[in-house]
Every structure is written in C-alpha cells, then in structure tokens.
Amino acid sequence: MTTLATVILAAGQGTRMKSRTAKVLHPIAGRPMVDYGVEAARQLGSQPPVLVVGKQSEAVREYIGDRAVFVEQTERLGTGHATLMARDVLRGRSDLVLVFYADMPLLRAKTLRRVVETHTASTAQPALTMLTLVADDPRGFGRVVRRADGTVAAIVEEAAATPEQLAIHELNVGVYVFDAAWLWEALPRIQPTPPKNEYYLTDVVALANADGRAVLAVEGDDPDELIGINTRVHLAEAEAALRRRINRAHMLNGVTIVDPATTYIAADVSIGMDTVIWPNTHLRGATTIGEGCVIGPNAVLSNATVGDDCTVIASVIEDSTLKNGVRMGPFARVRNGAHLGAGVHMGNFGEIKKSRLGPGVKMGHFSYIGDAEVGANVNIGAGTITCNYDGVNKHKTVIGEGAFIGSDTMLVAPVTIGAGALTGAGAVVKQPVPDGQVAVGVPARVIGARRQPQKKKKT
Ligand code: UD1
Ligand code: CA
C-alpha cells in the first residue's frame, strides 16, 4: 500500500489582510480557514498533515492542537523553501507527499484524491502530478506551460511570464502530489528567483523535466477551487462560494432554502428533510435541526439542537435545545443551556436562560425565565419575571406541573410554586406557594385553594 503524507503551507504573513489575526485563522462559513486544509487531509486518509507555520504562530498551533504536526519556517523565503522545512520530519516516512497551500479553503478532498489517484495510477513513474484549472480571469496565478504533446513543460509565475505565457488560461492551483524520495532530493536544487530571491516550489516542474521524469497534470472541474485568499475581498468571495456549496448540499438533501443568497449556514450544521429555511437566517456552530421545521425569516441559531416540526420565527437561540413541535417567536431569545420540552409555545418578547421547560409550557408574551425548572403544561402569563439575581448570586425558581402564573407575576428566587397552584396578576411571590393554592398581592399571600376553571361551553 502506498503511504501518503501531506504538507500544508501556512507560513506567509498575510500582510494584505491588514489584520492582527493570522490570515489562516480568519473564519469562512464559521470555521477558521486553516481547518479546511487540515480536514481535507484527514478525509484523504493521510497521516496528520505537517503544517508549515511562520513566527508568531502560537494562535494557529493552539487552535489546531494535535490535528497536525508543526514545523516552523523562520524566514519567509518562498513556497519551495517552506516545503523543504517539512523534510526532516517526513523523509523516509511516506511514498507520496501531497503539498498544498493553506489559503485555498475551497479545495475539496474529492479533488485532492483525484490528483493522488492519477499519480498512483500512472505507469510513467511521474515525479509529480499537479492540479490545474482553466479560467478566464488568471487571478495572478502561475501559468501552466504545456508542450505540443500536452505534457507539462513548466509553471511560470505571472511576474516572470512573457506576453505569450500571460495569455495562457490554464492556471496552477497549487496542489501537487510528489514521489517522496524525488521531492526531498530535488527541493534543495531549487534556485532563488530574482528580484525577491524566493525559492519557488513551482520550479520543481522544470527540475523534473531536467531529470527526465514525467510531470502529470489533472484539470479541476470546480472553478470555486481557485479562490485563494490574500485580501478581505477574497475572503468575502470565498465565503459566498462556500455558502453556495453548503446550501446546495442541503437542498439536494431535501431542505427547502427559499433564498440561498441570504441564508448563512455554517460548515458543521445538519438539517433534516422537509425543513424550510426562510431568508436572512443564520445557522452557526454545531447547530442541528430536525425534519419538517420552519426556520426564519430572521432567525439566528448558534449551537442549537432543534427537534422535528418546530417553528422559529425572527428569534435567537444560543447553546440550547428545543424538543419536537416547539413554536417560537417572533422576537424570542433562548440561551445558555435552555431546554424547551415538546410542544412548548414561546411567543413574542420572551427570554429563557439556563432553564428547563417541561412539555406543553405556554409563555406567550413579554417574560423572562432564568435559572428555573418549569413543569409540564405550566401557563406563564404575560410579563412574568423570575427575579433570579439578588445582586450577588443567582437563585433558582421551581414551578410545578400545571401551575398558572398570572400576568406580571414577579417570582423572587429562590422560590417554589407548587403543582397546579395559581398566582394572581401582579403578585410578588417571595414565599413558597403550596400545590393547588392561590397566592395574590404584594408580597403575595396565600388566600385559599385554587378552583379548576370550568371548560367553556361550545357555542
Ligand atoms: C502560489 C504559486 C502560484 C499559484 C498560486 C495558487 C508559487 C511560487 N506560486 O502563488 O503558481 O498559482 O499559489 O494559489 O508557489 N508560504 C509559506 N512560506 C513562504 C511563502 C508562502 O508558507 O515563504 C505559504 C503561504 O502562507 C500561502 C502559500 O504558501 O499559504 C502560497 O503562498 P503565496 O505567497 O500566497 O503564493 P501565491 O503568490 O498565491
Ligand atoms: Ca496565495
């Protein structure tokens, strides 16, 4: 079996980003750029990739952790020099070496695999196989010079190209698979190119030709894979392209996206069949949505777990769970580990923080529930507030099953409302209310047993 090692070049300074943050840590579709390359290498079944980083790379190392092996290029002397930095850790460790650049986040594992497979399938024992793309806009990329018989003669960087070479539309994407033994021997032979005297990895093509070794080229089929990031303009371009790709995959999986151009779904989100996403919806982090839901317009969900058949309109959910059939919004906010049981209804202008709501709870209008445990089928009247914070500590509110909390009740925590109890409108509850009792007033006092309301006669 042939073994594959991967080298990802990420030591460039990214000066044109004009940022305090390392270029490869800028997020695209909610994930730092460098993640895409590392993840692609993993999908290829490569050994953990070697990431070539520059000075001040602590944040990158910390973020990637043990998903890659780090080597440092202390001086930025070009892509050939950067690749050479990986030699000590990789020489003798693999048959093939895949090299690509960390600033090309749209590259798919599928495409990388095609380059590897073309290389291994060839009987010509190629020194390398590279990825090219034909495009109208050359984007300042290296041009691929082919001979009359179609074999690759050289990659010429734009700055060094003749007018005829500048007219070539076949571009060097920057993905190469090498015969490992040949690569490690050839890299030190690259000569610096004036005026900047950088060692260009692209010069390996000419070296292979001089050695009489074959150079193969695979033509890519997705122009988006050409999007490399040097500026924030490119960053927006990559974001849009990735968004198109992500949205398309969800649509092909049975999700209706009413307006893909204004639907922002992060790379790790999963969505069930027959869910409809309305415009201006943002699904971030590790959000999971079940089947048959209606999300948006104007919903923002981060690390949300949403069951089946839920409706979320113009609301914000963070780090929280909705069980099946929850209806929410417009203008609700749920956060910090909130858990809404099946069939909960949460109407406009409510907030739920770090609380569990049992199944069937209704909270129609203007309420804040924080640090609370709310039993099944509780009715929370308009304007109800859990006064959970005394200025120093947070306290818990417990509301038993089937309780009826009257409009504008202040629940001064810690406090317990018994199952089936009732509070009157405007009550300020500081003492526990026993099961089935009614409490009214300021502060509320218990006045007697709760009568169950009579069912309305159908007229
Ligand atoms: C490079 C290619 C070009 C190709 C283009 C595709 C070379 C000489 N040119 O040009 O043919 O069309 O990519 O995107 O390779 N890096 C280092 N250390 C260095 C220099 C660069 O690690 O000393 C890293 C950068 O962080 C970056 C990658 O290598 O991730 C590519 O470098 P960059 O300067 O962006 O090369 P391009 O000019 O885009
Ligand atoms: Ca680049």
Question: Ligand 1 centroid vs 230 CA: distance in angstroms?
Answer: 10
**459 pLDDT higher than 90:** no
Residues with catalytic function: 365
The CATH code of the domain at 4-226 is 3.90.550.10
- pLDDT tier at 149 (50, 70, 90 boundaries)? confident
Atom of ligand 1 nearest to the CA of 201: 15
- In contact, 303 and 316? CB cutoff 8 Å: no
Nearest ligand to the CA of 81 is: 1
Angle at 120 between CA 119 and CA 122, to 5 degrees: 70
Q: What is the position in ligand 1's atom list of the atom closest to the CA of 172?
A: 12
The pocket around ligand 1, CB under 6 angstroms, is made up of: 9-12, 52, 73, 76-79, 81-82, 101-104, 141-142, 155, 157, 171-174, 200-202, 228
Tell me the best of 79, 99, 152 to mutate to test the pocket of ligand 1, counting ligand atoms within 8 Å of each CB and taking the most: 79
Q: Which long-range contacts (CB under 8 A, 24 or more apart) does 154-161 make?
A: 154/205, 154/206, 154/209, 155/130, 155/202, 155/203, 155/205, 157/193, 157/200, 157/202, 160/193
Q: Give the closest residue (by CA) to ligand 1 atom 13.
A: 174
Q: Boundaries of CATH 3.90.550.10 in the chain?
A: 4-226
- The pTM (predicted TM-score) of the whole model is 0.90
- Ligand 1 closest atom vs CA 157: 11
- pLDDT tens-digit readout, 415-455: 999 999 999 999 999 999 999 999 999 999 999 999 988 88
Rounded to 10°, the helix 109-121/33-43 angle is 40
CA of 70 to the centre of ligand 2 (A): 20
* Averaged pLDDT score across all residues of the chain: 96
Q: In this predicted structure, what is the pLDDT of residue 210? A: 96
Reduced 3-state DSSP string for 103-159:
CCCCCCHHHHHHHHHHHHHCCCCCCEEEEEEECCCCCCCCEEEECCCCCEEEEECHH
Residue nearest to atom 10 of ligand 1 (CA): 141
Distance CA 308, CA 310 (A): 6
> Among residues of the chain, what percentage have pLDDT more than 90?
94
By C-alpha distance, which of 77, 83, 63, 72 is closest to 8? 83
pLDDT for res 56: 85
- Structurally, at CATH architecture level, domain 255-449 sits in 3 Solenoid (2.160)
Note the pLDDT tens digit of each residue in 332-385.
999 999 999 999 999 999 999 999 999 999 999 999 999 999 999 999 999 999
Closest ligand, as measured to the CA of 102: 1
pLDDT of residue 13: 81
Q: Could you tell me which residues are beta bridge partners of residue 179?
A: 96
Digit-coded pLDDT (tens) for 391-422: 999 999 999 999 999 999 999 999 999 999 99
The H or E element that residue 70 is part of is: strand 69-72
Q: Give residue-wise pLDDT tens across range 181-195.
A: 999 999 999 999 998
Give the DSSP per-residue string, 382-409: TT-EEE-B-SS-B--EEE-TT-EEPTT-
- Residue-wise pLDDT for 21-47, tens only, equals 999 999 999 999 999 999 999 999 888
How far, in Å, is the centroid of ligand 1 from the Cα of 248?
30
Ligand 1: which atom is nearest the Cα of residue 142? 11
Question: Ligand 1 pocket test: which of 101, 137, 152 has the largest number of ligand atoms within 8 Å of its C-beta?
Answer: 101
Structure tokens at 6: 């991967």
Checking if the pLDDT of 456 tops 90, the result is no
What is the per-residue pLDDT for 46? 85
pLDDT band at 150 (very low <50, low <70, confident <90, very high): confident
Residue having the nearest C-alpha atom to atom 28 of ligand 1: 101
Backbone angles phi, psi at 286, to 5 degrees: -95, 50
Ligand 1: centre distance to CA 80 (Å): 9
Res 458 pLDDT > 80: no
Closest CA to ligand 1's atom 3: 142
